[in-house]
Amino acid sequence: MTQISMTVNGKAVSADVEDRTLLVSFIREHLGLTGTHVGCETSQCGACTVHVDGQAMKSCSMLAVMAQGAEITTIEGLAPSADTLHPVQEAFREHHGLQCGFCTPGMIMSAADMIRRYEGKLDEKTIREQLEGNLCRCTGYHNIVKAIEAAAETMAQSGETQTASA
């Protein structure tokens, strides 16, 4: 067992974990934050995407001990408050960027990081290329792309592209 400490959604957490514990398992099983989904467990589908020190990472491809001292943001911590959605979450709701919802947390976390990295300057081709590591079996991606375009525009207009992952 190894003692790890990190900040998750703005709260300091620590625990003893087996060295082989994946970050996604730590988030879901130890912290009870089940919005981060386990899909393929091979880093192919993106359902487990979280932000690690401000960058989108697939938490199934990272050991929890590797996140020692890191700042982690999960889907539960993305919104500014419990009663206000993050602009990407709002855009997914408004533009019907989900169906079954299984991929949605990973898509939203990837989109927020994408918008930050491109400072809101995104076109359809770039969004589709950047989403290659996130799989959706239901939507055909059309409304997901529309939602990301809308969120990028909203965030760029409000100046939020600099803090999209915090």
**81 in a structural domain:** no
State the CATH number of the domain containing residue 147.
1.10.150.120
Q: How many domains does the chain have?
A: 2
**Side-chain half-sphere CA neighbours of 72 within 13 A:** 34
Residue 118 CB coordination number (10 Å): 17
119: in domain = yes
- DSSP tally for the chain: helices H, then strands E: 6, 5
End position of a domain, from candidates 76, 105, 124 = 76
Residue showing tokens 């930050």: 116
Are residues 100 and 44 part of one domain? Answer: no
Q: Which domain holds residue 112?
A: 87-163
CATH code of residue 50: 3.10.20.30
Edge-to-edge strand ranges of the sheet holding 55-58: 11-17, 2-8, 71-73, 49-52, 55-58
Provide the pLDDT confidence category of residue 162 given band limits of 50, 70 and 90: low
pLDDT of residue 142: 95
Average pLDDT (135-162) is: 91
Are residue 132 and residue 156 in the same domain, yes or no?
yes
127 and 66 in one domain? no
Q: d(Cα 45, Cα 65) in Å, to the nearest integer?
A: 22
- The per-residue pLDDT for range 50-81, each reduced to its tens digit, is 999 999 999 999 999 999 999 999 999 999 99
pLDDT value of residue 89: 98
Contact criterion met (CB below 8 Å) for 122 and 148: yes
Q: Give the whole-number percent of the chain exceeding pLDDT 70.
A: 97
Contacts of 82 (CB under 8 A, 6+ apart): none
Q: Does one domain contain both 42 and 15?
A: yes
